[in-house]
Amino acid sequence: MPSPRLSILLPTWNGESDLELLLPTLAEQDWPGERELLAVDSSSSDRSVELLEAAGAEVEVIPQAEFGHGKTRNRLARRAKGEVLVFLSQDALPAGPNFLRELVRPLEDPRVAGAYSRLLPHPKADLLTARTALAAPEARAEAPELEELDADAVRRLPPRERLEHLRFNNVASCVRAEVFRELEFPEVPFGEDFAWAARALDAGHRLRFAPRSVAYHAHRYGARGAFQRYRIDAAFHRQVHGLLLRPSLLSVARGVAYELREDLRFVLRERGVAGLPQLLRAPALRGGQVLGQYWGSRGRGPAFGPEGTSAARPSV
């Protein structure tokens, strides 16, 4: 059976340093079939477009104000000619030449509409960034064992259990083009992948985690960046899933204490006492993270609204 044609889809914005790593890695992928590389660039001021075109990508440039996480990916998918759509963030870095093969492998099951990769921190990431990335569900080494449920049964699950069935991540994912033509990403400023997963399950499709497809991806946040990132995440879960990540000030205190304790354990395990200086920024980082969750859970700060609001930025 011939390998399906792939369309690799990249939203980009001032990603020169990321693309210098990503594009050669994509070129080295062990994929026997045809593939194309498409990008939508949000008016970068660096060499992003030049690098993309040199790598053979078809690039469309749009104003920054037109960017939206779901909207821009939909725009890319409409131009694609492949049977499988591979969505990547510009700062994702495949960990080896079999990344694409393993990402697409779950689609051998005709019931599966999409799959997403395992995400690990960059090898050179600082210890706190690495600990955050490794604590995420997308970092686990094995796919979770989930009961096959229909959409109605998933909706009846408690919020945290429901999230496991709806988990999907566009940092590195693939979707059947024939399914995507019927089910595009919702145009929301955050969580378009989770929202699309709900649509796919409603339509009777299956989703899979592909842990043998590994990409490096992690963001190094300061206190303010962590607050904003986790506030939006918590607002999304509150409004879409009815899940309050930090419902009270008591949960904030417990959350900060937990995060600091886990930071200490991780640093000592990985570097011993030599890593202790990296803990100096932990109180501000974890305070921003947990307070952001509280603000989002309590409905404070800017609303989680449709794309085109101030929450939608060309940050991919």
Question: Can you give the residue ranges of every domain in the chain?
Answer: 6-216, 223-297
Helices (H), the chain: 16-27, 48-54, 69-79, 99-104, 127-134, 151-155, 159-166, 177-180, 192-202, 223-241, 249-271, 282-297
Condensed to tens digits (0 to 9), the pLDDT of residues 200-251 reads: 999 999 999 999 999 999 999 999 999 999 999 999 889 888 889 999 999 9
CA 134 distance to own-chain centroid:
14
48-75 pLDDT per residue, tens: 999 999 999 999 999 999 999 999 999 9
Give residue-wise pLDDT tens across range 131-151.
999 999 999 999 888 878 777
Angle at 233 between CA 228 and CA 235, to 5 degrees: 95
pLDDT at site 310 = 35
CA atoms within 13 A on the CB side of 170: 24
Of 15-24, 102-111, 236-245, the one with minimum mean pLDDT is: 236-245
84-88: strand order across its sheet: 58-61, 35-41, 6-12, 84-88, 172-176, 112-120, 206-216, 93-94
- Number of other residues whose CB lies within 10 A of the CB of residue 50: 13
Is residue 54 within 8 Å of 20, Cβ to Cβ? no
**SS3 at position 200:** helix
pLDDT-above-70 percentage for the chain: 94
Collapse the DSSP code of 302 into the 3-class scheme (helix H, G, I; strand E, B; otherwise coil) and give the result.
coil
Q: Which fold has domain 6-216?
A: Spore Coat Polysaccharide Biosynthesis Protein SpsA; Chain A (3.90.550)
Output the pLDDT for position 236: 86
pLDDT value of position 191? 83
Please give the pLDDT value at position 2. Answer: 67
> Is the model more confident about 309 or about 288?
288
Ranked by mean pLDDT, which of 6-15, 160-169, 230-239 comes out on top?
6-15
pLDDT at position 45, please? Answer: 97
Q: Which residue has the higher pLDDT, 1 or 213?
A: 213
pLDDT in tens, 303-316: 555 444 433 333 33
Given a contact cutoff of 8 angstroms between Cβ atoms, the answer to whether 113 and 175 are in contact is yes
Mean pLDDT of 257-273: 98
